[in-house]
Amino acid sequence: MPTWTDLQPFFVSGLALGGVYALSGVGLVVLYRATGVVYLAFGAVGALGALIAYSMIKAGAPGWVGWLACVATAAAVTLGYGLVFGPALARRDPLVKAVATLGLTLILFGAMDLLWTTGGGQSRAITLPADNSGFTIGQVQVNWTQVIGLGAGVVIAAGTACFLRYTKLGTAMRAIANDREITATLGVPVRRVEAAAWLGCGILAGVAGLLLADLVALDATTLTFLVISSLSAALIARLRSVALTFAAALLVGLVHDLLTPVQALSNYRDMTPFALAAMALLVTSRHRVMSAGEG
């Protein structure tokens, strides 16, 4: 069994990893509550933005222009998807809406691999200014980008939770996600509110994509399918509570990294997000009975 000093650095790295999962996980839950869609293309859209930022910076544009381009691209693609396919799918159940975003994922994934081919041994990277400075906790060095990643997760979680709860626009979004028709009859400008939700969604994906490209890797496959692991945190929170998603993400990251020095389980630690999500879902649905009830 590993000693306490052995485990210590993994706490820090685990929190950082948890921050990574939280970025996408919180984004997914927020978007689900605002649009009723589990936006599985979250990672792909972020990856696209990050690759565009990379290309622009490589061509000589200043850093902040690239980052803006990243967020703008993600917002544009998401808004486009929402405007074109949102209304057609609005009446379908959440499952169909989620699977449709998988279609978007495939489209983006294919396009990214076409446009940014896998080169001969070269890899792409995005570096943010905060990468190079950090501080030390115990034996381990922490860099500022990791703190920003974690912090961004907190800010996004808190900010969007408040937005959804306390603002008129947020309430309208929640209402539409719940029942579009009734909300429309109440006089809420459904299309405009939906567009706002998708736009906000896209901006979130762009910001997350940029941070993840720095923290993890600028690789279309990695970033696109990272969302599957982040989904686990969202599922543990049953796609409802943003705060719970954040906590679940941290837990997943911690457990994952803390298993690293444990010989017997180390090779299986990548299962952590999936195993935890499956267990959580099965346990919490034990008492549930199907409900078809309307008053």
Partner 1 sequence: MLVRRTLVLAGAAGVLAIAGCSSSGRSAGNGTSGSPATGGTSATAPATAAAGTVSTSQCGTKPGAAATGTPIKLGAIVTDQPGTSFTDIANMAQAYFSCVNANGGVNGHPIKYYIETEQTNPAQIAAEAKQLVQSDGVVGIVGNTSILECTIDHTYWEKLGIAIIDSGIAPECYSTPDSAAVNMGPRYSSDGAVQYALSQHVSKVVFDQSNVPGTGYIAAGPNALAAAAHTPIVNLTENVPITNADSVAIKEVQDAGPGGAVVLNFTPPEALVILQAAQKLGLENRVRLWGCSTPCNTDFLAQQLGARWNSKLFVNAELTPPDTTSTTAMQLYKAILQQYGSKVSGGVGSFSQMGFAEAEIAVHALESVTGGYTMATVNAAFKAVSNFNTGMNCQLWTYGSYSMHIPNNEDYTVTPDNGKMVQAQGCTAVSSVDPQIAGYRQAAGTAQLAPSD
Partner 2 sequence: MVQVAALLLFTLFGLPELLSLYYIDTLTQAAVYSMVALGLGVLVGRVGLYSLGQAAVLAIGAWVAARLLFATSLPFPVVLLGAGVITMLLGTVIGLPALRMRGLYLALITLMMAGAITVVLATINFPNGGGGFLGYNGSTVHIPSIRRPSIASADTAYFRYSVLVAMIMFGLVLAHIRTRPGRAWAAIRQSEPAALAAGINTTLYKLWAFALASFITGVAGGVLAGASRYLYSIDFQPQDSITLLGVVLMGGAYSLWGAVVAALLLELLPAILHSWGVSADWLTILFGLGVVQVLTNAPKGPGRPGAKGPRTALALAVPAWRAVMIEVTGLTVRFGGVTSLDGMSLIFEQGTCGLIGPNGAGKTTFFNVLSGFVRPAAGNIRAFGTDLLAMVHYRRARWGLRRTFQTEQTIEELSVAENVGLGGASRQEVLDAIAFAGLDCDPGSPVRVLGAGQRRLVELARAVAGQPKLVLLDEPAAGLPDQETAHLGEVIGQIPVRTGALVILVDHDMSLVSACCQTTAVLDFGKLIASGPTAAVLRDEGVMRAYLGTSDGAAP
Q: Does 260 bind partner 1 (CB under 8 A)?
A: yes
User: Residue 178 binds which one of partner 2, partner 1, none, with CB within 5 to 8 A depending on kind?
Assistant: none
Report helix, strand or coil for 179. Answer: coil
**Main-chain dihedrals φ then ψ at residue 114, nearest 5 degrees:** -70, -45
Among 1, 93, 120, 168, contact with partner 1 (rule: CB under 8 A): 120
Q: Could you say whether residue 275 binds partner 2 (CB under 8 A)?
A: yes
User: Which amino acid belongs to residue 113?
Assistant: D
Alpha carbon of residue 46 to chain centroid: 9
Q: How many alpha carbons lie under 13 Å from residue 168 in its C-beta half-sphere?
A: 3
Q: Is 166 in the site for partner 2 (CB under 8 A)?
A: no
**Nearer to partner 1 (CB atom), residue 50 or residue 196:** 50
Q: Which two three-digit tokens encode residue 120?
A: 């001969």
Q: Is 268 exposed, middle or buried (0-12, 13-18, 19+ CB in 10 A)?
A: exposed
- For 100, list phi and psi in degrees, rounded to 5: -65, -40
Given a contact cutoff of 8 angstroms between Cβ atoms, the answer to whether 73 and 206 are in contact is yes
Coil, helix or strand at residue 135: strand
Residue 262 interacts with partner 2 (CB under 8 A): yes or no: no
Question: Is 229 one of the binding residues for partner 2 (CB under 8 A)?
Answer: yes
What is the three-class DSSP state of 261?
Answer: coil
Instruction: Tell me the window of 148-156, 178-186, 211-219, 229-237 that interacts with partner 2 (CB under 8 A).
Output: 229-237
Partner touching 216 among partner 2, partner 1, none, CB below 5 to 8 Å by kind = partner 1
Residue type, 233: A
Find the binder of partner 2 among 58, 64, 80, 113 (CB under 8 A): 113
Give me the 214-243 binding string for partner 1, x by CB under 8 A, dash otherwise: --xx-xxxx---x--x--------------
Q: How many CB atoms lie within 10 A of CB 225?
A: 16
Choose the contact partner of 17 out of partner 1, partner 2, none; CB within 5 to 8 A by kind. partner 1
How many C-beta atoms lie closer than 10 Å to residue 106's C-beta?
12
Q: Tokens 């222009």 identify what position?
A: 65
Where do contacts with partner 1 occur on this chain (CB under 8 A)? Answer: 6, 9-10, 13-14, 16-17, 20, 113, 117-123, 125, 131, 134, 136, 140-141, 143, 216-217, 219-222, 226, 229, 256-257, 260-261, 266-267, 270
Where do contacts with partner 2 occur on this chain (CB under 8 A)? Answer: 38, 85, 88-89, 92-96, 98-100, 102-111, 113-114, 225, 228-229, 231-232, 235, 267-268, 270-271, 273-275, 277-278, 281-282, 285-286, 288-295
